[in-house]
Amino acid sequence: MLSRKVTSHGQDSSYFLGWQEYEKNPFDPIHNPSGIIQMGLAENQLSFDLLESWIEENQESNWYRKQGGSVFRELALFQDYHGLPEFKKVLAEYMSEIRGNKVKFDVDKLVLTAGSTSANEILMFCLAEPGEAFLIPTPYYPGFDRDLKWRTGVEIIPIHTSSSNNFTITKPSLQEAFQRAQTLNLKVKGLFLTNPSNPLGTTLSLQELHLLLFFSLSHSLHIVSDEIYSATASFPTPSFIETLSRLLPDPLHPAWSRLHVVSSLSKDLGLPGFRIGAIYSHNAELVAAATKMSSFGLVSSQSQFLLSRILADKPFIRGYARENRRRLGRRRGVMQAGLREAGLHCLRGEAGLFCWVDMRGMMGPAATFEAEAELWRKMVMEFGVNVAPGASCHCSEPGWFRVCFANVAEETLREALRRIKAVVADAGIRR
């Protein structure tokens, strides 16, 4: 008999069920051309060849050599959960680089974690007691229901947004969510945000940043800003830490101790398997606690060593960032053009690895979440395309879907778009 906690893992949504169907029947252009195409995975494979080329060009016979001997034993035995100093240094520099060098990151305020999933959970453990709550704008990444809540006992209260203003966060929506938490007798500890947004593919405007910062100040709330898609943006965009630097330049202002940034190398460098995540905070007490908690999920010293060499090659990293943004922009264009040809449109976005697609017109007069679920099942089971329905992202309006474009070859993407076009035609016949 297992504990109740392990049986309430938060993976029973259509987002995870779609993955299960894909794994039973994965598409392969040669061996299984009728299989399911995975468009529900936010993974960046567009620039992997650049990293492979760097590895090949820099693969030396004395890879683990250093002056006076080998570094292999040092890496094999290294267990300090503070991380390799040389890696933290270049990681902090990289985090500044992808934000246009408008802000600087202090290595002493950086905590290494085994990916952003671990970083977000650690922050929940550090900032809230079981039963306390964080406010999160909808739509949001379905995995947060698992990552933030499962083991911590923290509650999520949605901040509902609407397509009528392109899912912009407003003061009334913030106040309504805060009031709902109070009605439920939940103490609100903070705001949890993704910037750039997953699944919208948009970045927060300066107006939204100001609103969120002042709302958090008025209620003494923490802000967790998950910024793992920062390097996927078409251009460096305003961040919380940059905005706070301008509005409150005094580093001793209380707001600084309540802002916590999550970063990762999984999306921009396309290295989810390396499990490189980080927490950045000016709160010394939190940094100390999070560093101790990171011992339950350390980043391997071998990964840190390799990535420290890649990130230290500044000409390569700058060239990679430019080319990666160019490729993502082109692929987003291919996706949007294919959707338009099918008669579909998506929210205008400038970041992320996905499009937020409006399929409300395909559901007929029954514009309900039941109709959305039926359309999603049809796409997966009959037409072989797995996407994430809006309900799994807690979207308040049925008919929106997250469709990823950077995890497959371009010809596979075009095949997926042909299948989506067939779904649209089928829906039109049914109406």
**265 and 362 share one domain:** no
The answer to whether residue 362 is domain-embedded is: yes
Q: Which tokens in the block code for residue 285?
A: 């007490």
Would you state the pLDDT for residue 66? 62
The last residue of a domain, from among 316, 348, 380: 316
Same domain? 232 vs 339: no
Co-location of 193 and 219 in the same domain: yes
**Residues that are catalytic:** 141, 226, 228, 267
Q: CATH number, domain at 45?
A: 3.90.1150.10
364 in the same domain as 275: no
User: What digits encode the pLDDT tens for the residues 360-417?
Assistant: 999 878 789 999 999 999 999 999 999 999 999 999 999 999 999 999 999 999 999 9
Residues 80 and 38 in one domain: no
pTM to 2 decimals? Answer: 0.93
Question: Looking at the domain assignment, is residue 54 inside a domain?
Answer: no
Report residue 169: phi and psi, to 5°: -80, 130
Cis peptide before 139 (omega within 30 of 0): yes
pLDDT lower than 50: segments of the chain = 429-431
316, 335, 358: which is the final residue of a domain? 316
Q: Among 297, 316, 335, give the residue marking a domain's end.
A: 316
Whether residues 162 and 294 share a domain: the answer is: yes
Q: What is the pLDDT of residue 431?
A: 42
Please name the residues in contact with 354: beta carbons below 8 A apart, sequence gap of 6 or more: 42, 198, 199, 201, 402, 403, 404, 405, 406
pLDDT at 68: 59
Domain span at 20: 5-49+326-430
Q: Residue 67: what pLDDT?
A: 59
Asked whether residue 290 falls in the same domain as residue 146, the answer is: yes
Q: Which letter, b or e, does each residue of 91-108 get, where b requires 16 or more Cβ atoms within 10 Å of its Cβ? A: bbbbbebbbeeebebebe
Looking up residue 150, the CATH number of its domain turns out to be 3.40.640.10
Q: Are residues 190 and 253 in the same domain?
A: yes
| 361 and 256 co-located in one domain | no
Whether residue 120 is found in the same domain as residue 15: no
Q: Does residue 321 belong to any structural domain of this protein?
A: no
Query: Residue 56: inside a domain, yes or no?
Result: no
How many domains in the chain? 2
Determine, yes or no, domain membership for 151.
yes
